[in-house]
Structure formats: C-alpha cells, structure tokens
Amino acid sequence: MTPVCTISISIPGGEPMQVQLDSVPRILVPLKTRRIGYTRWITSAPYVWHDGANVRMLPAGYEWDGASVPAFAHWYCEPGSYLEASGPHDHAYQFHWLLTWRSWSIGWVAQTVSKSEADAQWKLILEHVSGVRLSKARLLWDAVRFGGWLSWLRNTCNNKCDQCPCNAGGWCPYVGKSLKPEPPVKGN
C-alpha cells in the first residue's frame, strides 16, 4: 500500500523519527517492559503504535497488571498476557485519555477516549500486532466490552493525580510539559 503521508515525530528520550502513515495499524517503537510483580509490569521506554488513523504512545514508567482475566477463564487467556494490547487499554481505562501525536508545533496531546474507543484499541492491537487469531481477538474484545464497565466507571472521577491532564494544571510528568494549551494572556 502506498503511504498517505510521511510525518516526523518526537519520542521522549529518543531521536526524532520519520513515519509513513497509511491505513495499516502497526508498531512504531516496540513495547519494552520490566516485570515488577507476579502480574505487574512497567514500561521501560515509550511504546508507540499507529492505529490506522493516529500515532499513539504509552509513556515510559506506566505500570499495569496485564490482561485482567477472571479465574474461570485462565484456561483460555493467561493472566498478564497480551501486554502490547493491555497496556494502552489499561491506561485508557485508568485515565480516559491516550497520548496522540498532532504535529511538531503541538506535539503529544492527551486525547480523551471513550470506553468503546479504548476497547477498539485493545481489539486492533490484538489482531494486528499480537497476532491473535481473529476469533479469539473477537471473544477477548467482547469480554472487555461487556465486562469492563465496572473498571471504567470506577476510574471516571479518579483523574485527580499529577499524571492526568484533566487536573487544574494540565501537567503530564510523562511528557514533561503541559498537555493543555495555556490560556491566552490578555493585554493590560
């Protein structure tokens, strides 16, 4: 497929990179994690992917528990599996936003995502990145669509930490700058 366009993006802690965008989802910077508990991981570098429409990033230093799987389904999906898909999905469930590249002048922005958009990222990465067969990806997607509401709602009003651009300052320690544009300064 012929690229629609080529853009240059900046990765925190890395060199700028040229990315050819088209409608094919793919990994741009592979996921690097370190296990910090039985089912706890932390990203050791930014994880960047193209979802077919946007370039997204899971920042370095993000902690999560992998795929949360109820005990009765462990035979089908091992707890903590599918890290490439569960990291962005858990981040979106926790904060209700994903870092999305806009341009050199704007940089990375915290784009608000709905539960259905978070679940769609989960399915897209399972299918196109993790190599999960389509029938299993569909079943896992159905599981988060129908079973993830409690987790989504539990975090709805929990965005009060320094890591969330929804707070008053809009500061993101992952990116090292404000993710919201500063209000215009009015003249005297």
Kindly tell me if the per-residue pLDDT of 65 is higher than 80.
yes
Q: What is the pTM of this model?
A: 0.76
Kindly tell me if the per-residue pLDDT of 56 is higher than 80.
yes
Kindly tell me if the per-residue pLDDT of 166 is higher than 50.
no
8 A C-beta contact, residue 141 and residue 132: no
Three-state helix/strand/coil letters over 40-96: EEEECCCEEEECCCCEEEECCCCEECCCCCCHHHCCCCCCCCCHHHHHHHHHHHHHC
Summarised one tens digit per residue, pLDDT across range 84-94 is 888 999 898 88
Q: In this structure, what are the phi and psi dihedrals at residue 10, rounded to the nearest 5 degrees? A: -110, 125
Residue 137: the pLDDT is 80
Residue 39: the pLDDT is 80
CA separation for the pair 122, 114 (Å, rounded): 13
3: pLDDT confidence band, cut at 50, 70 and 90?
low
Residue 48: the pLDDT is 92
CA 41 vs CA 8, 37, 60, 68: distances in Å: 29, 7, 11, 13
**Position with higher pLDDT, 164 vs 39:** 39
CA dihedral (100, 11, 156, 126) positive or negative: positive
Amino acid code (one letter) for 11:
I
Tell me the average pLDDT across 58-83.
76
Kindly tell me if the per-residue pLDDT of 79 is higher than 70.
no
Per-domain residue ranges of the chain: 26-178
Of the listed ranges 1-15, 40-54, 155-169, the least confidently predicted one is: 155-169
CA separation for the pair 1, 181 (Å, rounded): 36
Q: Is 149 helix (H, G, I), strand (E, B) or coil?
A: helix
